[in-house]
Structure 1
Amino acid sequence: MECSTKVFMTNMEELFSEQCVDKDLECIICMETFTNPHILISCFHVFCRDCIDDCRTRDSKCPICRIEFEAEQIIPSPEHEKLLAELTQDIIKKTLITEKPKEKQPAPVESKSSDGIEELLLEEQVDIEEISEHIDITSVFEGITALNCSNLRNLSARGEIRLINVSANSVISHKNKILIMGSPKRLSAFKKIEAKKKICLVFTSSDYVKSRKSTVATRCSQIKYIEAVKEVTLSGSTVSNITLEAYFEEENPIAQATLDLIKHDEGRENRIEGLISIIPPENSDARNPRVQLSITGKGFITGKIQFVNCRGEIRSSEKIILS
């Protein structure tokens, strides 16, 4: 079922927050998930580093048990950092990929070698895992699901593409969406990612990402160039350049474009370091239409914002730093 990019990101954050409460990974001071967790060696209670530092300026007693502590008794808690990382990975996987029973793989329509590169061509759904050789994979009518595959070449499908811990040269969904998840220790790496519908990337790096008709959302990712329609969402991600096509909301003559920089629960910064180009809607009849760019959330924009073939205005939240 198709859902908006923001709903996808919100569901993931809500599930993560619920799991953190269940696993005692929430700071008693700020009532949020631990950010840079530190432990008091005097009593072994854990807090966000900023929270306990701020607390100590007013009272040098543990907020939970009231045992006194000194500054040197506040030390990092790698155990809680590891638990948060593992939980993040688990939640992302549950949100992105719905496990389904393995079905018998359809016989390939064609399998050939061209210049030493194997090509797998199938009419139906392609499900693969644990492949490390250079190979081109095409699903003519359905989608592709891949798990733990490195050094793939080009993946192409008509339908939806879902990848976990996969690296490849290019990934293209001609009629649907793309969901990709790497890992905190090793980003899934690509040169080109392109889809007709939305693209969601987690722990991913790519030179080029393009959604022809929809939004792009990234979490803990590094992208050189994004091209999208309507909205780009970042959470703990760095992007060099963005081209964003505005869209018309119902009964609003001013076209809208949105950059949503969601605060990351582990303190990773959102950064846009290059050129942001805002272009008018493809279906605009006006010669020089009005476009409003809304920048929400928290992050840093260090490059230039330009409006191409349109009259633009910017609305930005107070936590967006423009330089």
Structure 2
Amino acid sequence: MDMQLNETQQAISDSCARLFERRAGPVRARALRKAEDFDRLLLTEMEEAGFLDLYAEPDAGPLVAALVVEWTAQAAGLAPVGARSLIAPSVVDGVLPLVIAVADQKGLNAVRYGAEADMLIVVDGDEATVARRGEFTAATVRSKFGYPMAKVTEVGGARLARGAGAVARRWWRIAIAAEIAGSARAAVDLTVRYMRDRSQFDRPIATYQALQHRIVECHVAVDAAQWAMREAAYHGAPAALAASAAITASEAAHRVFFETHQLTGAMGFTTEYDLHLYTMRLQTLRLEMQGMRGHARDLVAARWPAAS
């Protein structure tokens, strides 16, 4: 695996950055959350630009699809990019609708983008079901955790091929890790800027070594999440690597949430400040798929099948 972006990847990165500059960012995310909505316009423009269909492209593939998920999260984009560009293409054939949600059979009470979805993929162990709009019922659930949430009931639809659930679960973990890596990176960058600007005892707080150590540990944790996710995506999301990436990312999410709010003091706990736009999403992501316990259980099963 090359640690540098190749020419194609860099071109996609630059194109995404230009799109996000126009259509994403904290101001846009704040307005959407106030309206309890998601960014259909951003998702539409990403689809028109081809950014949601890179999974099967020979010159891009799953790794670049995962990078786009990461970059979208870093730009505070509020849209189900991971489900549409990583999870669904791994198990569903044919043309995909714009808005796709994914849920665990045991977690239908809190499904991200469930009420907005044109398609719902429900994972139940190694099996999975796909339901189109009208084949499931979704009721919006009010939440402060960064995403539109819904309670899903009465799921119909069609059973996917045998083993589709296991495949979807692996790519779901990559999507979670990618979103955590992007959101956590943005939270750390925002906190670094705050520490440079905020003075205490006539010195920027960024000059205090104890605080430097804490933000550097966050930076290292995000780096670990980022590269664990990219390695797993590059190798096709084998179960052990996907679970490891999700665990590494979940640990980073926990550290970044705690430290960035502590390092920004009272400002970091206000909704007027942008930090919560990233960190509240981290809280949701690290609990998805039954959280660390679920990731660890699948990691053990993948590495030591006889023990599971």
Larger radius of gyration: 1
More helix by percentage: 2
Of structures 1 and 2, the one scoring higher in RCO (CA 8 A, sep 6+) is 2
TM-score, scaled relative to structure 2: 0.29
The alignment's TM-score, normalised by the length of structure 1, stands at: 0.28
Report which of the two has the higher share of strand. 1
